[in-house]
Amino acid sequence: MMALLGNSYSMRGYYEGRYRDKHKMEGQVELRQHVWKRNGVVVWIGAGTVFHKFSALRMDSVLPNYGIGYRWEFKKNVNVRLDYGFGKNGQSGFIFNINEAF
């Protein structure tokens, strides 16, 4: 029941459950661009951290996140997602999913 950082919807590139604590704070900016017919691309950048109490929140514990992805519109409002996210210390991850992160 603890807050987890990283999954296929946010902070992509970090293994889910590797970072966990009582509280989580994260933010992400994502740009989706239609390219041609049913094809699109996405890029994102974000940051997040977990902490046990607000007084322990430190900037040096914030983890960066960025990545690139491909979208294929299977049908209206349903996309096939292929994302590759990067994190701190060489962490990275490939995500395959149907639907959007948000």
Beta-strand (E) ranges in 1-102? 3-5, 19-21, 23-36, 39-51, 63-75, 78-86, 92-98
Closest CA to 86 of 21, 4, 15: 15
Please write the tens of the pLDDT for every residue from 40-67: 999 999 999 999 999 888 889 999 999 9
Tally of CB atoms within 10 A around 11: 28
How far apart CA 61 and CA 70 sit, in angstroms, is 30
Give me the pLDDT at residue 10, please: 87
**Contact present, 85 and 12 (Cβ < 8 Å):** yes
- The domain total for the chain is 1
Give me the pLDDT at residue 100, please: 65
DSSP secondary structure letter of residue 82: E
Domain extent, residue 80, equals: 3-98
pLDDT tier at 9 (50, 70, 90 boundaries)?
A: confident
Please write the tens of the pLDDT for every residue from 63-101: 999 999 999 999 888 899 999 999 998 999 999 999 865
pLDDT tier at 29 (50, 70, 90 boundaries)?
A: very high
Q: Which residues pair with 97 in a beta bridge?
A: 81
